[in-house]
Structure 1
């Protein structure tokens, strides 16, 4: 099933997008593992988008509420006040770090899945060579180049994911520090 027949099945007619057809051709060349890698990358980027939405939309509202509640308090130095403050800081830490470890794991799986695709591709190349009895270097080179596509895709996905994960982690640490400074006790 190609993309055109899939979109026809969905009821979308005359969808002729060149980059979509190129993507479909690339996915067919890479094999089954490349589809698993695409699914993994999709899930990873969904989690990344969720983190950015939380950091840019939801966390500022929570931060503003905590800071205004803290400033409205008369007592900032008692055990009870510091316990409330520490509770808010702990909740902020948990909320900011949510899904970051999952993103890190998914990013680290990408190159491994790409290598798995390359190994399975190489096995199929050698299997074809063994059954057909051909040792033509041109056929071997084209089969090997197709088998390395999953590794390329896995490495590209991992590099992009590592960069974004590092930026997210740094941003979350900065937001935690700013919140902690805003909730310091007045002497």
Structure 2
């Protein structure tokens, strides 16, 4: 059973409409988070091995120089780049989801005040719509946290290898 692109677009817009404007914010944050994570993985698999080879060549050619320390610091900064922003986005997604739940519950209580409390289905549908942004925010945060943890651990190991003379050469060979 394959869905067409048009069907997927319809489902996405219906989902965003159901959750309100907060789901649009969460979707934008998720897009930013995914793009930053992809950039970090690009750095990890493509750019870092090239940069690290340059450092190991410098270490082999010059036993000690200030250029080595400068290169190590530059690589250290590149390893940490965007990780703090990714961490902030991960923390922000559930909070924005909770904002959506609070605004959704306000709408539910407003409709209850106007229509009365006799219709339990109306109330259940409103509460369901109100909790949707929290679920989406938590899902994005869990997704981001899994990949952030992997990248942060790799970055820490790579940073440790930078300042160990033997580790720098061994780490370059194992990458």
TM-score, length-normalised on structure 1? 0.81
Give ranges in structure 1 of 5+ residues lacking alignment.
1-14
Q: In the TM superposition, what is the alpha-carbon distance from 1:22 to its structure 2 partner?
A: 1.5
Q: Which runs of 5+ in 2 are unaligned?
A: 171-175
Moved over 6 A (4+): none
Alignment match, 1:19: 8
> Could you report, residue by residue, the CA deviation over 1:123-170 in whole angstroms, capped at 9, with x for unpaired residues?
011111112234322211111011100000000001111111100101
Distance change (3 Å), C-alpha of 1:26 and 1:85: same
For 1:109 and 1:69, how far apart are their aligned partners in 2? 41
Structure number with bigger Rg:
1
Which of 140, 144, 162 is 1:161 aligned to?
144
More helix by share: 2
- Go from structure 1 to structure 2 and tell me whether the alpha carbon gap of 1:16 and 1:44 turns closer, same or farther (over 3 Å shift): closer
TM-score w.r.t. structure 2 length? 0.87
Which moves more between the two structures, 171-180 or 160-169?
171-180
Is the partner of 2:26 in helix, strand or coil?
helix
Tell me how large the CA RMSD over aligned residues is: 1.8
Alignment-derived partner of residue 85 in structure 2: 102
Indicate the residue corresponding to 1:145 in structure 2: 128
